[in-house]
Amino acid sequence: MNIRLAVEKDITQLIKMRWDNTVEFDQSKKNESYEEFERECRTFLESALKSNQWFIWVAEDKGQIVSHIYIELIHKVPRPGRVTHPFAYMTNVYTIQEYRHRGVGSKVLRTINIWVKENKYEFVIVWPSNEAVHHYKKNGYVHCTEPMEYFPS
């Protein structure tokens, strides 16, 4: 099992995994156009992989990506009297079914946790599903005060 940052050659697999992840949890999406989604997702991923804002971590087994976690760095406005470090927003966490409950996701999370510490990012924020809370807790994550949201009408 190789845990690494995604590169351009991974884009096709990442697109398919994003599709599969969405359809697994919302069957109504399987009727959407894969071609339209593929174009939009490819554009996003090509840009993300070239940026210093997105970091896509993957677990690869025999050339196949079996798990991934996307991290977006959020830069904060500097404040007098302290060095300002970005925080990390974790999203699009997914492991293919055949590799679940085998510790793969935890290995990717541990790699990210080390990377976060080494880079002095302030914290990581993730909004887990109810089913995933235990997974994050066993990897050192704790509940925080709920954020507020605004939905424009």
Q: Give the tens place of pLDDT for each residue, 92-134.
A: 999 999 999 999 999 999 999 999 999 999 999 999 888 899 9
Domains of the chain, start order: 2-137 (3.40.630.30)
User: What is the number of alpha carbons within 13 Å of residue 83 lying toward its C-beta?
Assistant: 4
Who has greater pLDDT, 24 or 58? 58
pTM: 0.91
DSSP 98-111: GGTTTTHHHHHHHH
